[in-house]
């Protein structure tokens, strides 16, 4: 089997077409600066045509693709945001009916993920809503946005604001600002409810891919004389990313390169990495049974089957099947396991960072059958 090519990308961000601050070319520059290979811009309820392609400068190049984050704007309070990639058309007209939205995304050759599916309760002092997914009677979506950086941050702010001795707007804002100065101290991992929900779907025999994203807006926060961007695109692109494995090097042919990237995302040949804690580049999860496979693949189980995890630095590595840890090792770079049962196996790594054990890598499953 040829060597797979790893690309790092971010697939959830906004421009002034909706509520972001920077335009595509500037975001592309930030992505190059952060070392990303591709980005997918997902403005709210607008699929922006004509901006896809390679953006380059003296520091490198990045492939910019156009996706969309769709929600029903008439709904109050707002909920159920959906990320669509590769559908090549405006999907906002289907926003009122989540199942129709999913079906239309699929019918147009795209794939779709429930964005930040679980969020904390609304925080009125700071006007922070719960934008989680609320329409659970759905099927046939590609996967879940397992870890969304801005959503994780908002949940931490909500938690701290709720614990204040007095419920005061200014005090809550000061707390938010304090947290915003050192987010890495507070970010621990994906929302546990989303992790549990994913394991539940996998246990039901479904193939569900996950992605991890920034949801960068570059929004300024103003508090009297204090003005701070929460958070710059570049900062976000160094935090939670999705790393994918594709069969061949990108060659600059937009249609070809785009297809490889979208295939990897929809099949889950990828992992979610908290690159700020330590670069996740070089992580691998592979399996050998009757056939060989990488993350996201289906492998036929036989007596000699093995699963192997390799991390780019020492970490606590766990192999999880349908919510249960089937193998684990501490402070190591490799884990090998001989599976005896069918099912979806996913690898998870945690690492010491900023004085605490943090979620670091969440791989998509290898499916044994
Ligand atoms: Zn959203
Ligand atoms: Zn968003």
- Which of the ligands is closest to the CA of residue 13? 2
| pLDDT surpassing 70 at residue 68 | yes
Expressed in angstroms and rounded, the spacing between residue 193 Cα and the centre of ligand 1 is 17
Tell me the pLDDT band of 20, cut-offs 50, 70 and 90. Answer: very high
Q: Which ligand is nearest to the CA of 216?
A: 2
Q: Which ligand is nearest to the CA of 12?
A: 2
Query: What is the distance in A from the centroid of ligand 2 to the CA of 14?
Result: 6
Residue 246: half-sphere exposure toward Cβ, Cα within 13 Å: 22
Residue 114 CA, ligand 2 centroid: distance in Å: 11
For the cut 80, the answer to whether the pLDDT of residue 259 exceeds it is yes
Q: Which ligand is nearest to the CA of 130?
A: 1
Buried b (16+ CB within 10 A) or exposed e, 143-172: bbbbbbbbbbbbbbbbebbeeeeeeeeeeb
pTM over 0.95: yes
* 78 alpha carbon, closest ligand: 1
| The pLDDT value given to residue 225 | 66
Looking at the chain, the whole-number percentage of residues with pLDDT higher than 90 is: 91
> How many angstroms separate the CA atoms of 341 and 307, rounded?
12
In this predicted structure, the answer to whether residue 1 has a pLDDT above a threshold of 60 is: no
pLDDT 10s digits, 223-251: 666 676 778 999 999 999 999 999 999 99
**Residues whose CB falls within 8 Å of the CB of residue 232, separated by 6 or more in sequence, listed in order:** 30, 216, 218
Q: Is 102 in contact with 82 (CB distance < 8 Å)?
A: yes
What spacing in Å lies between the alpha carbon of 286 and ligand 1's midpoint? 32
User: How far away, in angstroms, is 356 Cα from ligand 1 center?
Assistant: 28
pLDDT mean over 244-265: 98
Tell me how far the alpha carbon of residue 39 lies from the centroid of ligand 1, in angstroms.
Answer: 17
DSSP letter, residue 120 = P
Alpha carbons 142 and 120: distance in angstroms, whole number: 24
* Residue 80 CA to ligand 1 centre (angstroms): 8
pLDDT of residue 113: 98
Query: Closest-lying ligand to the alpha carbon of 132?
Result: 1
All structural domains of the chain, each given as residue ranges with its CATH number in brackets, are 5-276 (3.20.20.140), 281-369 (2.60.40)
Segment 243-269 shows an average pLDDT of: 98
pLDDT at 223: 67
265 has a pLDDT exceeding 70: yes
Ranges of H-type helices in the chain:
24-33, 98-107, 149-162, 169-181, 192-203, 233-236, 254-267
Tokens at 149, concatenated: 């950086």
Mean pLDDT taken over the chain? 95
For residue 364, give the nearest of 133, 134, 199 by alpha carbon.
Answer: 199
Distance from the CA of 23 to the center of ligand 1, in angstroms? Answer: 18
The candidate with the shortest Cα–Cα distance to 243, out of 12, 1, 60, 36, is 36
Q: Is the pLDDT of residue 221 over 80?
A: no
- Residues 171-190 have pLDDT tens digits of 999 999 889 889 999 999 99
Q: How far is the CA of 68 from the centre of ligand 1 (A)?
A: 10
């Amino acid at each position: 089997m040829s060597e797979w090519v790893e690309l790092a990308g971010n697939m959830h961000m906004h421009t002034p077409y909706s509520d972001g601050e920077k335009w595509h070319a500037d975001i592309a520059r930030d992505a190059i600066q952060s070392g990303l290979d591709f980005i997918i811009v997902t403005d709210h309820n607008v699929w922006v045509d004509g901006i896809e392609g390679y953006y380059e400068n003296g520091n490198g190049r990045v492939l910019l693709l156009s996706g969309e984050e769709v929600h029903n704007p008439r709904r109050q309070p707002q909920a159920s945001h959906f990320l669509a990639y590769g559908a090549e058309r405006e999907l906002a007209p289907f926003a009122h009916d989540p199942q129709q939205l999913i079906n239309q995304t699929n019918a147009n050759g795209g794939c779709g993920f429930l964005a930040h599916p679980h969020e904390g309760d609304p925080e009125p002092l700071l006007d922070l809503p719960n934008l989680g997914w609320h329409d659970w009677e759905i099927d046939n979506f590609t996967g879940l946005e397992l870890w969304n950086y801005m959503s994780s941050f908002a949940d931490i702010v909500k938690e701290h604001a709720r614990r204040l001795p007095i419920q005061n707007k200014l005090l809550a804002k000061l707390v938010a600002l304090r947290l915003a100065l050192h987010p890495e101290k507070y970010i621990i991992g994906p929302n546990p409810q989303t992790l549990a929900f994913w394991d539940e779907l996998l246990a039901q025999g479904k193939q569900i891919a996950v992605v991890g994203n920034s949801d960068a807006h570059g929004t300024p926060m103003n508090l009297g004389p204090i003005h701070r961007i929460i958070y710059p695109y570049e900062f976000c692109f160094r935090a939670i990313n999705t790393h994918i494995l594709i069969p061949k090097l990108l060659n600059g042919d937009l249609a070809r390169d785009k297809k490889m990237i979208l295939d990897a995302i929809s099949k889950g040949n990828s992992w979610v990495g908290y690159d700020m804690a330590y670069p996740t580049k070089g992580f691998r999860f592979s399996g050998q049974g009757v056939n060989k496979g990488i993350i996201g693949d289906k492998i036929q189980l036989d007596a000699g089957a093995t699963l192997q995890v390799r991390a780019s630095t020492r970490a606590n590595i766990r192999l999880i099947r349908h919510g249960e840890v089937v193998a684990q090792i501490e402070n190591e770079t490799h884990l090998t396991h001989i599976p005896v049962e069918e099912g979806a196996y996913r690898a998870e790594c945690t690492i010491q960072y900023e004085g605490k054990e943090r979620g670091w890598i969440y791989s998509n499953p290898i499916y044994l059958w």
